[in-house]
Chain A
Amino acid sequence: MGRLDSAPAKPKYRRLLLLILVLASTCAAVLVLGTILAADGFSLLELAILTIFSALFAWITTACWISVIGFTVRLAGSRRRQGEGLAEGGPATGPSVTALVMPVYNEDPERVVAGLRATLVSLCENTATGRYDVYILSDTTDPEIWLAEELAWSRLNREFAGRIDVFYRHRPRNLARKSGNIADFCESWGYRYDYMVVLDADSVMSGDCLTRLVGRMDRNPRVGLIQVPPVPVMRETLFARSQQFASSVYGPTFVAGLAYWLEGDSNYWGHNAILRVQPFVEHCGLPVLPGREPFGGEILSHDFVEAALLRRAGWEVWLAADLGGSFEEPPPTLIDHAKRDRRWCQGNLQHIGVLLARGLRPLSRLHLGMGVMSYLSSLLWLLLLVFSSLEALRQAQTEHSYFIEGDLFPNWPVSYAFEATTLLAITLVILYLPKLLGYFALFTERRRLTAHGGAIKAFISVVLESLMSILLAPILMLFQSGFIVSILAGRSVRWAAQRRDDDETSWREAAAAHWVHTALALATGVASYLYIPDFFLWLTPVLLGPVLSIPLSRFTSRTDVGRRLKAWGIFLTPCESDPPRVLQLLSYYMSDRTPPLLPESAAASLFEQAIADPFMNALHRTLLERQPRSKSERLRLDGLIARLQENGPDSLSRDEKRDLLCDPTSMATLHALAWEASDPAQPSGHAPQGAAAH
Chain B
Amino acid sequence: MEARLTQPSSEVPILFEAGADKAIAIQLPVEEQPPQSALVARIDRYLRAAGALDTARRSRLTAATARNLLALGVSAEPAWAEIVAAVDRALAGADSTEGSDKALTTSTTPHGRVALRLVPDADVGAGAGWGTPPRRRSAMRPQDLSLWRPTAELLLGLRVSRPAQGLAACLCWVAILIVP
Within 8 A of A (CB), among B43-100: 44-53, 79-81, 83-84, 87-88
A154 / chain B contacts, CB cutoff of 8 Å = 21, 115, 118
Instruction: Given A155-B21, A189-B133, A190-B138, decide whether A162 and B120 contact each other with a Cβ distance below 8 A.
Output: yes
Closest residue of B by beta carbon distance from A674: B80
A285 to B44: give the CA distance in the assembly, Å: 52
Q: Is the CB of B49 within 8 A of A694?
A: yes
Any chain B CB within 8 A of the CB of A284?
Answer: yes
Q: Is the CB of B111 within 8 A of A621?
A: yes
A684 to B44: give the CA distance in the assembly, Å: 10
In whole Å, how far is B150's beta carbon from the nearest beta carbon of chain A? 10
Any chain A CB within 8 A of the CB of B145?
Answer: yes
Within 8 A of B (CB), among A576-617: 597, 613-615, 617
Closest residue of B by beta carbon distance from A625: B129
Any chain B CB within 8 A of the CB of A165?
Answer: yes
In whole Å, how far is A422's beta carbon from the nearest beta carbon of chain B? 21
Within 8 A of A (CB), among B99-118: 109-116, 118
In whole Å, how far is B26's beta carbon from the nearest beta carbon of chain A? 14
Q: Is the CB of B128 within 8 A of A614?
A: no
Any chain A CB within 8 A of the CB of B168?
Answer: no
Cross-interface CB contact of A615 among B22, B81, B131, B143, cutoff 8 Å: B22
Any chain B CB within 8 A of the CB of A440?
Answer: no
In whole Å, how far is A38's beta carbon from the nearest beta carbon of chain B? 12
Q: Is the CB of A675 within 8 A of B46?
A: yes
What total of A-B pairs shows CB separation below 8 Å?
Answer: 172
Cross-interface CB contact of A693 among B49, B88, B130, cutoff 8 Å: B49
Cross-interface CB contact of A694 among B48, B87, B143, B146, cutoff 8 Å: B48
B44, B49, B111: residue with the most chain A Cβ atoms closer than 10 Å: B49
Any chain A CB within 8 A of the CB of B172?
Answer: no
Q: Is the CB of A357 within 8 A of B147?
A: yes
Q: Is the CB of B138 within 8 A of A357?
A: no
Within 8 A of A (CB), among B130-175: 130-133, 135-148
Q: Is the CB of A597 within 8 A of B21?
A: yes
Any chain B CB within 8 A of the CB of A187?
Answer: yes
Q: Is the CB of B118 within 8 A of A157?
A: yes
Q: Is the CB of B140 within 8 A of A357?
A: no
Q: Is the CB of B80 within 8 A of A672?
A: yes
Any chain A CB within 8 A of the CB of B19?
Answer: yes
Q: Which of A286-294, A536-544, A640-648 contacts B (4 or more CB under 8 A)?
A: A286-294
Q: Is the CB of B110 within 8 A of A187?
A: no
Any chain B CB within 8 A of the CB of A654?
Answer: no
Any chain A CB within 8 A of the CB of B23?
Answer: yes
B19 / chain A contacts, CB cutoff of 8 Å = 694
Q: Is the CB of B143 within 8 A of A165?
A: no
Closest residue of A by beta carbon distance from B40: A683
Closest residue of B by beta carbon distance from A620: B112
Any chain B CB within 8 A of the CB of A687?
Answer: yes
What are 30 A-B interface contacts by the 8 Å CB criterion? A154-B21, A157-B119, A162-B120, A165-B121, A168-B131, A189-B133, A285-B143, A353-B145, A357-B145, A358-B144, A358-B146, A597-B21, A614-B114, A615-B22, A615-B50, A618-B112, A618-B114, A619-B112, A619-B118, A621-B112, A622-B111, A622-B115, A625-B129, A664-B112, A672-B84, A676-B81, A679-B42, A679-B80, A694-B48, A694-B49
Report which B residues bind A (CB closer than 8 A).
Answer: 18-19, 21-23, 37-38, 41-42, 44-53, 79-81, 83-84, 87-88, 109-116, 118-121, 128-133, 135-148
